[in-house]
Amino acid sequence: MHDQQLKSQYSSLGISAPVLQFGEDILATLTDRFSAIDQVAEYNQLKVLKSMQECQVREACLTGTTGYGYNDIGRETLEAVYAGIFHTQDALVRPQITCGTHALALALMSNLRPGDELLSPVGRPYDTLEEVIGIRPSKGSLAEYGITYAQVDLLPNGSFDYDGIRNAVNPRTKLVTIQRSKGYATRPTLSVKRIGELISFVRKIKPDVICMVDNCYGEFVETVEPTDVGADMAVGSLIKNPGGGLAPIGGYIAGTKECVENAAYRLTSPGLGKEVGASLGVLPNFYQGLFLAPTVTASALKGAIFAASLYERLGFSVFPDSKASRHDIIQAVTFGKPEGVIAFCKGIQAAAPVDSFVTPEPWDMPGYDAPVIMAAGAFVSGSSIELSADGPIRQPYTVYFQGGLTWPHAKFGILKSVQSLADEGIIKM
């Protein structure tokens, strides 16, 4: 194919020659990083395949069950495949787990009892967890059940406050929750290695404490997962990385037999546990999505690094910066003015396969203290492994960008955001 052919294809989709050239110049500097990402994807593809083969995934696994879902071979095999990938004794992978917050709430509520204390040694947890824990009062929170919460913030330089953690651990400390991704905070995302160091430290103080990792956005970014470095549970959402863009719903908990059993009894009912829960028709998407997840995550990761490099060169502050090593797929870009956030999101929306013709606008979303703008044109509603962006319209006017099922689409979306900023006169090409 001629270079010219590709250029005119981009041009027909509204990308000007200077924007495309700017993108190509940046891309030329990213060859080494991209090949490192491809290598991780290659390793993880084999990891997933190996577990599927060892568990003897067969055609019968792809048909679902209805009603009670007894003896659902597809569901049971898939849970064994997850356990194989995460190197855990067991796993719970269900469409009845509605989202990441639900999976985390389930893991916490099923493994904590009244009188126990939950400790976060990595600062404030993800927004939605505040209501689960009861940091913000909420019906049915852990606090309502007499489960207390303690928190130790990271030190200003991002390192663990080991003294603070040692002081916080007490006889009631039952479970330690560690969030891998920074989410929408501005602390660094934790590498699996650092998570392992933290777990070892906590275990030295209290050997029987349960260590849970909120693994959202982190799956398959590295060759190891938190359960490889001592976590009792890794918990996440299937409409993020491990669903590969195909899972239409679902969450997972991979962990020790004891922890997973507790979660299963809470999800269904004491006495029933993992034995029930019809898979309906979602198993082909769960299996195929998991199979694609390593390369889909790699595409999203390339998009994040490409965006960081472009916007850094354009003079905006980006987090993580273009050189930082990556442990999740989220990229923040700070524009310093609302017009930047809005133009960025318009560009992402215009690049979508679904709803590309709509214009996103800031609105007063429940639970937020400022209007929020969101760009998403996804096959699965709310899916953030698909190309998407959002940002609150408040200082410092930062947009959060993530996802991209394929690298060419992530690339196009980012070029489209740059084009949108150029068209609005916010940047000069």
Ligand X SMILES: *Cc1c(COP(=O)(O)O)cnc(C)c1O
Among the listed residues 148, 181, 285, 398, the single contact to ligand X using CB under 6 A: 181
285 lines the binding site for ligand X (CB under 6 A): no
Q: Is 142 in the site for ligand X (CB under 6 A)?
A: no
Q: Determine how many CB atoms are found less than 10 A away from the CB of residue 363.
A: 11
- Of residues 74 and 243, the one with the C-beta less far from ligand X: 243
Distances from the Cα of 191 to the Cα of 194, 222, 230, 238, angstroms: 5, 8, 14, 21
Q: b/e map of 298-321 (b: 16 or more CB within 10 Å)?
A: bbbbbbbbbbbbbbbebebebbbe
Q: Three-state SS for 372? A: strand
* Per CB under 6 A, 242 contacts ligand X: no
Q: Alpha-carbon distance 398 to 333, whole Å?
A: 5
Q: Cβ atoms within 10 A of the Cβ of 163, count?
A: 10
- Specify the residue, 182 or 416, whose C-beta has the smaller distance to ligand X: 182
Does the footprint of ligand X cover residue 216 (CB under 6 A)? yes
Residue in the structure block whose two tokens are 């979508």: 352
Minimal CB distance to ligand X: which residue? 100
Decide whether 19 or 97 has the Cβ nearer to ligand X. Answer: 97
**One of 79, 131, 214, 219 touching ligand X (CB under 6 A):** 214
Q: How far is the CB of 141 from ligand X (least distance, A)?
A: 16
**Contact residue for ligand X among 82, 126, 286, 287 (CB under 6 A):** 126
Quick one: 33 or 182, whose CB is closer to ligand X?
Answer: 182
311 in contact with ligand X (CB under 6 A): no
CB of 238 to ligand X, least distance (A): 9
DSSP assignment of 42-64: HHHHHHHHHHHHHTT--GGGGS-
Please state the closest distance from residue 100 (CB atom) to ligand X, in A: 2
SS3 of 380-398: CCCCCCCCEEEEECCCCCE
Considering only 179, 297, 334, 417, the residue that binds ligand X (CB under 6 A) is: 179
Residue 363 DSSP symbol: B
What are the C-alpha distances in Å from 393 to residues 3, 197, 372, 382, 420?
A: 39, 37, 6, 20, 18
C-alpha closest to that of 47 among 297, 239, 249: 297
Q: Is there a contact between 112 and 142 (Cβ–Cβ < 8 Å)? A: yes
Checking DSSP bridges between strand 372-376 and strand 388-392, what pairing results, if any? antiparallel
Distances (CA, A) of 125 to 34, 184, 349: 31, 10, 29
96 interacts with ligand X by CB under 6 A: no
- Tell me the number of residues near ligand X by CB under 6 A: 12
SS3 for 119?
strand
261 binds ligand X, rule: CB under 6 A? no
69 forms part of the interface with ligand X (CB under 6 A)? no
> Using CB under 6 A, which of 77, 96, 101, 191 touches ligand X?
101
| Beta carbon nearer to ligand X, 105 or 147 | 105
Give the contacts of 399 (CB within 8 A, at least 6 positions apart): 332, 333, 334, 335, 340, 341, 344, 345, 389, 390, 391
Backbone φ, ψ for residue 292 (5° rounding)? -85, -15
Q: Tell me whether residue 10 or residue 401 sits nearer to ligand X (CB atom).
A: 401
C-beta closer to ligand X: residue 72 or 131: 131
128 makes contact with ligand X (CB under 6 A): yes
Of residues 232 and 390, the one with the C-beta less far from ligand X: 390
Q: Which of 44, 111, 177, 237 binds ligand X (CB under 6 A)?
A: 237
Identified binder of ligand X from the candidate list 217, 287, 335, 401, rule CB under 6 A:
217
- Within 10 angstroms of residue 428's Cβ, the number of other Cβ atoms is 8
Continuous segment of H or E residues that includes residue 158: none
Contact call for residue 109 and ligand X (CB under 6 A): no
- Considering the complex, state which of residue 216 and residue 233 has its C-beta at the smaller distance from ligand X: 216
- Does residue 183 touch ligand X according to CB under 6 A? yes
Min CB(195)–ligand X separation in Å: 13
- Please identify, among the stretches 37-45, 70-78, 179-187, 315-323, the one whose residues bind ligand X according to the rule CB under 6 A: 179-187
Residues that bind ligand X (CB under 6 A): 99-101, 126, 128, 179, 181, 183, 214, 216-217, 237
